[in-house]
Amino acid sequence: MPPHAQDDSLPSDHTLFRVAVRRIIPLLVVCYMFSYLDRINLSFARAAMEQDLHFSDATFGLGAGLFFIGYIVFQVPSALLLEKFGPRRTIAAIMIAWSLISFLFVIISTAWEFCALRVLLGAAEAGFYPAVLYYLALWFPNSIRARVTTGFLIAIPLSGAIGGPVSSYLLGAFDQVLSVPAWKWMILIEAIPPLLLGLTVLKRLDDGPASASWLDAPTKQAILARLPDQNISTNDTTSIFAALKQPEVLLLVVICFCQAVCNYGIVFWVPTFIEQVIAPAPGELGFYTAIPFAVAAVAMLLNARSSDKHNERCWHLAGPFLTVALCLVLTFLLQSHGAIALVFLTIALAAALCVTTMIFTVTPHVLEKRTLATGLAWINSLGAIGGLVGPYGIGWMRQHLHSPLSGVFLVAACATLGAITTIYTLSSRVRRTA
């Protein structure tokens, strides 16, 4: 054990890393907010786009889900870029690339162009989340990394809580300005910040504490002392397919798949669902959409804090899964009671995002160390297929079953499967720690 571990005179990890948290986390939160908003902002323009481009709900849902084809395929190439160029340049390049691709959405005129650009957008964003997790691992020790990561993931509900009203305002304020449809203005305006943020990342972030010129020498030495292993790789020569031989990996793929269906199935269609149960006045949709995301932000923090406090993972993951299933069924049954249905839809979204923040906290308890890295890669990549199934499945069911909220049963079924698989996988393995 390093000598400093026994020295009570040294500052705690919370005190020592506070300056790094303040410099790094707010910027990354804003970056991820626009990353997530870039995936879901089309949901606010669905009706206008379907009318202008002659799309069906199924076509729109397919385009939404095809994002994950590029996202899945380019996971490994993005990791290679991260290793070659470092996290700072990789994160900046990814943001600039997805900004430029977003600009191209204003010139689409066919379903094929829409779908192709969604695949390209997924390819561009594929490495962002892994690069940020890698970057946080370079900067923060295990003792505070979970809370730092949860703070970063608050960007997900914030993107909906803030992005919803902003997108709604843009759709109302810019309609037919210069004879351009409002949804094109929304995409154009919301594509500008990622470009500027990418340039900011290049200037403000460093590739790690050792290269951070804004840290004084004693603080830098203390931080590096708390991070004895800067090599995140496993140095394991085992085949990348070895992890798939572990039944636990396949079970976790199922859990992650169900999480992606719940997350993106609800998030991408939530404005449409709210229109169905509330029928808000023009311009008010974004503000009603902000309600579930604001509640979700609080729920994510409370669930993560409770999980850490009680050193428990299984039911803090399975519980939200079951809540998603129950509340979506109640949303369908009570859709004629607008306010009540909105309450259950809000709880369902909050629970789905609680699942998202918990999903990777359980893997170290289940996977063997020698296949942890490759196992995580397979779980994240194969599980992300749920991001295609959720939006497309809901769109297909809306179109073919002629019931606007029928798609919630697909999500509810996957949530139930996720809960059962979680309990089966984790109940006998996850142990409480003192």
* pLDDT tens sequence across 392-403: 888 888 888 877
Please tell me the predicted confidence (pLDDT) of residue 350: 93
Say if residues 40 and 364 touch (Cβ distance below 8 Å). no
- Can you tell me the distance from the alpha carbon of 374 to that of 249, in angstroms, rounded to the nearest whole number? 10
pTM exceeds 0.75 for this model: no
* pLDDT tens sequence across 10-66: 455 667 788 888 889 999 999 988 887 877 777 778 888 888 888 888 888 888 778
CATH, range 238-434: 1.20.1250.20
Please report which confidence band the pLDDT of residue 198 belongs to, taking 50, 70 and 90 as the band edges: very high
Mean pLDDT for 160-182 is 85
Return residue ranges of the chain for CATH 1.20.1250.20.
Answer: 27-227, 238-434
Mean pLDDT for 395-415 is 86
What sign for the dihedral angle of Cα 63, 65, 67, 69? negative
Say if residues 250 and 379 touch (Cβ distance below 8 Å). no
- Can you tell me the distance from the alpha carbon of 319 to that of 423, in angstroms, rounded to the nearest whole number? 10
Please tell me the predicted confidence (pLDDT) of residue 371: 61
In this structure, of 51-60, 153-162, 178-187, 425-434, the range with the lowest mean pLDDT score is 425-434
Q: In degrees to the nearest 10, what's the CA dihedral of 407, 408, 413, 417?
A: 120
- Can you tell me the distance from the alpha carbon of 58 to that of 424, in angstroms, rounded to the nearest whole number? 34
Please report which confidence band the pLDDT of residue 127 belongs to, taking 50, 70 and 90 as the band edges: confident
Please tell me the predicted confidence (pLDDT) of residue 429: 60
Judged against a pLDDT cut of 90, whether residue 415 lies above it is answered with yes
More confident residue, 39 or 410: 410
Closest CA to 350 of 232, 246, 270: 270
* pLDDT tens sequence across 220-230: 888 888 875 54
Please tell me the predicted confidence (pLDDT) of residue 2: 45
Most confident of 127-141, 262-276, 413-427: 413-427
- Type of residue numbered 281: A
More confident residue, 80 or 299: 299
Please tell me the predicted confidence (pLDDT) of residue 9: 45
CATH, range 27-227: 1.20.1250.20
Residue 178, judged by CB atoms within 10 A of its CB (0-12, 13-18, 19+), counts as: exposed
The tokens describing 265, both together, are 């199935």
- Can you tell me the distance from the alpha carbon of 35 to that of 401, in angstroms, rounded to the nearest whole number? 32
Please tell me the predicted confidence (pLDDT) of residue 116: 93
| C-alpha pair distances (Å), 335 with each of 158, 223, 307 | 26, 53, 33
Please report which confidence band the pLDDT of residue 420 belongs to, taking 50, 70 and 90 as the band edges: very high
- Can you tell me the distance from the alpha carbon of 331 to that of 282, in angstroms, rounded to the nearest whole number? 23
* pLDDT tens sequence across 97-117: 999 999 998 898 888 999 999
Please tell me the predicted confidence (pLDDT) of residue 31: 92
Please report which confidence band the pLDDT of residue 370 belongs to, taking 50, 70 and 90 as the band edges: low
Say if residues 149 and 28 touch (Cβ distance below 8 Å). no
Q: Mean pLDDT in the chain?
A: 82
Please tell me the predicted confidence (pLDDT) of residue 432: 39
- Can you tell me the distance from the alpha carbon of 157 to that of 250, in angstroms, rounded to the nearest whole number? 29
Number of neighbours of residue 166 by Cβ within 10 angstroms: 18
Please tell me the predicted confidence (pLDDT) of residue 119: 93
Judged against a pLDDT cut of 90, whether residue 323 lies above it is answered with yes
More confident residue, 247 or 431: 247
